[in-house]
Chain A
Amino acid sequence: MSGNLAQAYAPLLIHLLVALGLSAILLILSSLIGQHRPTREKMQPYECGITPVGDAREPFDVKFYLVAMVFILFDVEAVFLYPWAYVFRELRWFGFTEMLLYILILLAGYVYLWKKGALDWNPSKTQRDRQT
């Protein structure tokens, strides 16, 4: 049984090893062969070509996290649409209603976010109060 398993997954494993090996070799080679002339500017974090103005590890505004979270939520939910679309013809009305329910629940979440002001980048004072 285990032999079978190894056989079945062998190509995958080989693929993985080759990919890892290749990238490792390229990295090592470039650091060995390439020329290095470090200057102070070069060692600084890349900031669109401009001289950095402060420490990179600053606290971000919480709004960024909010947007990121909201994005992930709705993005991941959208993934479900692909398999659904694939079998949509077979599922017919059942599939349609199921997805309708699903979207409706998402919509409820969306309305909630909207009304809560999570989508406003610059919430007015009153909205901010209601948020807390």
Chain B
Amino acid sequence: MFPPRQDVLRLMPEIILSLSGILLMLIEPFLSGARRTLIVTLAALGSGLALVSTIYPATLPGTAFSGLLRIDGFSVFVHVVVEAVAFLVIIGSADYLDREKIQHGEYYALVLFATVGMCVMAGAAELMTAFVGLETSSISTYILAGYRRDVPRSNESAMKYFLLGSFATAFFLYGIALLYGATGTTQLARMTFPTTPGRERLLDLGLGLMLVGLAFKIAAAPFQLWTPDVYEGAPTPVTALMASGPKAAAFALLLRILATVGAAGTFWFWALWVSAALTMFVGNLAAIAQSNVKRMLAYSSISHAGYILVALAAAAASDQVELGVAAVLYYLAVYALMKLGAFIFVSQLGGESERHMEIDDFRGLAVRQPVAAACFALFLLSLLGLPVTSGFLGKFYIFNAALASRLIWLAVLLAINTVIAAFYYLRVIVVMYMRQPNQTWPPAPMPWAVTFVLSIAAAGTFYLGLFPGRVMALATQAALSLPGR
């Protein structure tokens, strides 16, 4: 009756994350005074340990807990991405929370719980498990979005995210119900064919509703409307988390459904195609008009979801699923690093209560803070996708997958979007490098923790841009580890 030992080991990262979250919640009320260091250390330790313990699932592939979870290269890859994001966000948040005077243990606990949810989504082989993961991560992020509770914007952000998010999860749940009705199971692997003939329409409807629910989570058009407001209002480190973590997990879930459920690929293909094209354009065109850095980055993350959707469409279209899947995975890793770096940077530069978030506030940053400016410029260029930075290789693999699946027009649209995107990324660089500073406030401090996070992100951006071999091999392995269609 007890689950086998290896099942528990396979779940090790999740267990460690949950336990450290609970531990944080428990000791938080008992601490007073100099508690910050202890709490941050504990949280970082927890997420770091989880990252290390991912070695267990990596060495023990297979299904666990009577088929609820499927631990394979794919889930391990996403686990690592998500846990690394959590680790970096935790370290990068500490100084921000101090500055905003909202340094509580609960913050870190919520980040850890959100990560548990994402990990579960990455490994879910069964839809109810996936739903539980989705809800765990969503609810934690709803709260985190409103964490600056004295700031109306933050409240608005949390409220919007919560209302629209629960709506989306309802869609997802309804989709699960219909799928269950159509196939008589919630196990993805057994959904290959509808068990009862005449229920194909039900299956399609269920898949469609699930796609809607997940499209909301990844901010794909036309379900992207919440993104700018939520990203802008949330505390910036939380935005960093939302932009990189849950997105990666939702994409992972989409991919797993796509690869496992045969009907999904054919039924979703055009939806993915159209959504990809729409998302890229909506994100990029809107980003051009922004004057607030955080909002611009929010729109840019919409457009990046569009790029990833191109690869997803490629995976749905061809019989070489692994090319598209590997491209998505690689891009997720790349994207998480650069976006996280950009947001953490902005969180520090914004100054107390995020006052200096206009693009114009970055005037002459290259003179005031040359190293920081160079770092931010690197992330922006990577988001733009210039060679030597990881963004280029990420995009390259997407192009590669799209062309291999003969999605030539989608590839051309992606190319056009790259040029449109150049416009707004360059504008920030122009402001930082080519205008004279005129600020009256002192340069933002760069505490060592933030410096550490930014250096990791920058180093990763270079590493993934120059030597993609190893990570790409892992991504390909991960893609191949998915059960084929």
Direct contact of A and B (CB under 8 A): yes
The interface size of chain A toward B, counting residues with CB under 8 Å, comes to 15
| Contact call A1/B196, Cβ cutoff below 8 A | yes
Pick out which of these stretches binds chain A: B21-29, B415-423, B447-455, B470-478: B21-29
Q: How many angstroms between the C-alpha atoms of A115 and B28 in the bound complex? A: 9
A111 interface residue (CB < 8 Å to B): yes
Min Cβ gap A3→B in Å is 13
* Docked complex: B1-17 residues within 8 A CB-CB of A: 1-2
Task: State whether A112 and B1 are in contact (beta carbons under 8 Å apart), knowing that A1-B196, A105-B22 are contacts in the complex.
Answer: no
* Docked complex: A80-117 residues within 8 A CB-CB of B: 91-95, 97, 105, 108-109, 111-112, 115-116
A108 CB contact (under 8 Å) in B1, B26, B196: B26
Min Cβ gap A128→B in Å is 14
Q: Which residues of B contact A92 (CB under 8 A)?
A: 1
| Contact call A112/B25, Cβ cutoff below 8 A | yes
B441 interface residue (CB < 8 Å to A): no
Min Cβ gap A43→B in Å is 36
B442 interface residue (CB < 8 Å to A): no
Q: Which residues of B contact A97 (CB under 8 A)?
A: 2
Q: How many angstroms between the C-alpha atoms of A111 and B196 in the bound complex? A: 50
Q: Which residues of B contact A91 (CB under 8 A)?
A: 1
Task: State whether A115 and B30 are in contact (beta carbons under 8 Å apart), knowing that A105-B22, A108-B25 are contacts in the complex.
Answer: yes
Output the nearest chain A residue to B149 by Cβ-Cβ distance. A132
Min Cβ gap B444→A in Å is 26
| Contact call A116/B1, Cβ cutoff below 8 A | no
Q: How many angstroms between the C-alpha atoms of A95 and B28 in the bound complex? A: 31
Q: How many angstroms between the C-alpha atoms of A116 and B105 in the bound complex? A: 12
Q: Which residues of B contact A94 (CB under 8 A)?
A: 1-2
Which of B25, B32, B196 has most A Cβ within 10 Å? Answer: B25
**Chain B interface main SS type:** helix
Q: How many angstroms between the C-alpha atoms of A130 and B31 in the bound complex? A: 10
The interface size of chain B toward A, counting residues with CB under 8 Å, comes to 11
Task: State whether A115 and B22 are in contact (beta carbons under 8 Å apart), knowing that A1-B196, A1-B198, A92-B1 are contacts in the complex.
Answer: no
Output the nearest chain A residue to B150 by Cβ-Cβ distance. A132
Q: How many angstroms between the C-alpha atoms of A94 and B32 in the bound complex? A: 39
Q: How many angstroms between the C-alpha atoms of A116 and B29 in the bound complex? A: 6
Q: How many angstroms between the C-alpha atoms of A93 and B3 in the bound complex? A: 12
Q: Which residues of A contact B196 (CB under 8 A)?
A: 1
Output the nearest chain B residue to A92 by Cβ-Cβ distance. B1
Task: State whether A115 and B29 are in contact (beta carbons under 8 Å apart), knowing that A1-B198, A108-B22 are contacts in the complex.
Answer: yes
Chain A 23-37: CB-based contact to B (< 8 A → 1; otherwise 0): 000000000000000
Q: Which residues of A contact B22 (CB under 8 A)?
A: 105, 108
Q: How many angstroms between the C-alpha atoms of A105 and B23 in the bound complex? A: 10
| Contact call A112/B26, Cβ cutoff below 8 A | yes
Q: Which residues of A contact B198 (CB under 8 A)?
A: 1
Output the nearest chain B residue to A90 by Cβ-Cβ distance. B1
Q: Which residues of B contact A105 (CB under 8 A)?
A: 22
Min Cβ gap B162→A in Å is 15
Min Cβ gap B98→A in Å is 16
Output the nearest chain A residue to B196 by Cβ-Cβ distance. A1
Min Cβ gap A132→B in Å is 9
Q: Which residues of A contact B29 (CB under 8 A)?
A: 111-112, 115-116, 130
Q: How many angstroms between the C-alpha atoms of A92 and B32 in the bound complex? A: 42
Q: How many angstroms between the C-alpha atoms of A105 and B26 in the bound complex? A: 10
Q: How many angstroms between the C-alpha atoms of A115 and B29 in the bound complex? A: 6
Which of A91, A92, A115, A130 has most B Cβ within 10 Å? Answer: A115
Q: List 5 tightest A-B contacts by C-beta distance, closest first.
A: A115-B29, A94-B1, A112-B25, A108-B22, A94-B2
Interface contacts beyond A112-B25, A112-B29, A130-B29: sample of 13 additional A-B pairs, CB < 8 Å, sorted by A: A1-B196, A91-B1, A93-B1, A94-B1, A94-B2, A95-B1, A97-B2, A108-B25, A108-B26, A109-B25, A112-B26, A115-B29, A115-B30
